[in-house]
């Protein structure tokens, strides 16, 4: 069974950093791109970024709202993807989901981890 | 960025009804479109990809159509478990963008 499990969320002050992890199992993690999508409380879905597999160069794309503040990486030996979030803002408060890319779409999602940015 | 606009924002229908949700893109892109269902407190689930392909395990009462700028998700016979919020999402270009969501209530 394909599973993705996020961890690392919590309460953080504005301007500080937080790193989220996304552990995959039940599939060949290294073969798949991984995306991050967030959802602010009571709001819709916002794509954050994507990291491709090494087959496709491991290249990364970001949403403009997080570029230069967030960094996506992956450790295929551990089947984990990371979202390093720096210079956090109150508007970054959201549930963060990682998901496996199925072609150009998101077919398996984690349960999400809540990040609250507040003083 | 490609803007995705869904309508209606909410719909209330009875079991057995046919429900249609539309999604309009600010620029055309063939069929690089997906539909997701999200229930409260849960992660979204992929229903349809490439505008009309049914994802594995998704009931056949769900169908998608469209290309270019106008897309449709149809639930042919609404079931009690179909409540939730439905989102369209384009995969034609970066950044990936979602519609604002359509909340479906089963009367």
* CA–CA separation, A55 and A17 (whole Å): 30
Please list every residue in chain A whose beta carbon sits closer than 8 Å to the beta carbon of residue B99: 44
Choose the closest CB to B96 out of A44, A47, A103.
Answer: A47
Considering chain B, what percentage of its residues have pLDDT values greater than 70?
100
pLDDT tens-digit readout, A35-80: 999 999 999 999 999 999 999 999 999 999 999 999 999 999 999 9
Choose the closest CB to B34 out of A35, A105, A111.
Answer: A105
Residues in chain B: 107
Q: Tell me what pLDDT residue B34 has.
A: 98
As given in the structure block, the two tokens for residue B106 are 């089963």
pLDDT tens-digit readout, B60-72: 999 999 999 999 9
Q: Tell me what pLDDT residue A100 has.
A: 97
SS3 state at A90:
helix
């Amino acid at each position: 069974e394909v599973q993705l499990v996020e961890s690392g969320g919590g309460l953080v002050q504005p301007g500080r950093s937080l790193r989220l992890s996304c552990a995959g199992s039940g599939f060949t993690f290294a073969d798949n791109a991984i995306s991050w999508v967030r959802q602010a409380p009571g709001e819709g879905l916002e794509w954050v970024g994507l990291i491709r597999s090494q087959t496709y160069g491991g290249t990364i794309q970001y949403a403009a709202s997080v570029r230069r503040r967030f960094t996506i990486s992956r450790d295929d030996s551990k089947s984990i993807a990371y979202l390093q979030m720096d210079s956090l803002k109150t508007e970054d408060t959201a549930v963060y989901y990682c998901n496996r890319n199925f072609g150009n779409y998101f077919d398996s999602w984690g349960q999400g981890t809540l990040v609250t940015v507040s003083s | 960025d490609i803007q995705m606009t869904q309508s209606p924002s909410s719909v209330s229908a009875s079991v057995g009804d046919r429900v249609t949700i539309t999604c309009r893109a600010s620029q055309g892109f063939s069929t690089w479109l997906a539909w997701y269902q999200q229930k409260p407190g849960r992660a979204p689930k992929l229903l349809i990809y490439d505008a009309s392909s049914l994802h594995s395990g998704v009931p056949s009462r769900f169908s998608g159509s469209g290309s270019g700028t106008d897309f449709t998700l149809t639930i042919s016979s609404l079931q009690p478990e179909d409540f939730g919020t439905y989102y369209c999402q384009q995969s034609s270009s970066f950044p990936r963008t979602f519609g604002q969501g359509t909340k479906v209530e089963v009367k």
